[in-house]
Amino acid sequence: MTADQAEEPTRRDFLYIATGTVGAVGAGALAWPFIHQLNPDASVKALASIEVDISAIGEGAAVTVTWRGKPVFIRHRTAAEISAAGEVKIEELRDPQADKDRVQKPEWLIMVGVCTHLGCVPLGQKGDFGGWFCPCHGSHYDTSGRIRKGPAPNNLAIPEYVFLDDGRVKIG
């Protein structure tokens, strides 16, 4: 053995490494299906977007719909709420974002109703800023759903959505 090892790489060394490589690639390829099966399946993905009729939601009212297993708040904001959201100085925010960047139409605020702290559902029209208040650990959100006070690090998330026409919105 010692004499062999002192020599240049032998055919046996080559076969050993080549076999090991094929084995490693094969094991990796085989591992993928066993990991990928944990990802959302076709039946979950098929329900990944929803359409909501918003024509009946009057000014100052809101509905909560379920999307991908989470609540989505659709709020028809009042003029006072819109102007309050627009007047906030962006520099003062923990997660700076202008109100106009959080909406497609100013009167419709559509966001995922999950507190960015630890996942509870905030209560609407509560808290120090007239927006949302999370009862779990006391995070306060303003009328644009931005974090203003409390432990949450980020603003309430905005889902992907499009207005199909004046009365319908497609979320996801």
Partner 1 sequence: MSGHSEFQPTSAPVKWLERRLPILSLMHGAAVAFPTPKNLNYWWTFGGILMFCLGVQIITGVILVMHFTPHVDMAFSSVEHIMRDVNYGWLIRYIHSNGASMFFLAVYIHMFRGLYYGSYKEPRELIWILGMVIYVLMTAAAFFGYVLVWGQMSFWGATVITNLFGAIPLVGDFLLSLLWGGFSVDNPTLNRLFSLHYLVPFLIAGVVVLHIWALHVPGNNNPLGIDVKGPQDTVTFHPYYTIKDTFAVVMFMIFFALFVFYMPNALGEPDNYIEANRLSTPAHIVPEWYLLPFYAILRSIPDKLLGVIAMGIAIFVLFLVPWLDTSKVRSARFRPLYKQFFWLFLIDALILGYIGAKPAEGMYLVIGRIATAYYFLHFFIILPVLGLVETPKPLPESISKSVLDKSAAGKAA
Residues that bind partner 1 (CB under 8 A): 32-34, 36-39, 41-44
Contacts of 32 (CB under 8 A, 6+ apart): none
Q: Which is the catalytic residue, given 36, 117, 137, 140?
A: 137
3-state secondary structure 67-120: ECCEEEEEEECCHHHHHHHHHCCHHHCCCCCCHHHCCCCCCEEEEECCCCCCCC
Q: How far is CA 146 from the centre of its chain?
A: 15
Select 42 or 56, whichever has its Cβ closest to partner 1: 42
Closest to 155 measured CA to CA, from 136, 139, 137, 171: 139
Cβ at position 49, least distance to partner 1 in Å = 17
Cβ at position 41, least distance to partner 1 in Å = 4
**Known active-site residue 137:** yes
Select 19 or 104, whichever has its Cβ closest to partner 1: 19
Please compute Rg for the chain using Cα positions: 26
Instruction: Dig out the tokens for 16 from the structure.
Output: 């050993």
Select 27 or 56, whichever has its Cβ closest to partner 1: 27
- How many residues comprise the chain? 172
Cβ at position 27, least distance to partner 1 in Å = 12
Cβ at position 24, least distance to partner 1 in Å = 14
Select 30 or 56, whichever has its Cβ closest to partner 1: 30
Catalytic annotation, residues? 137
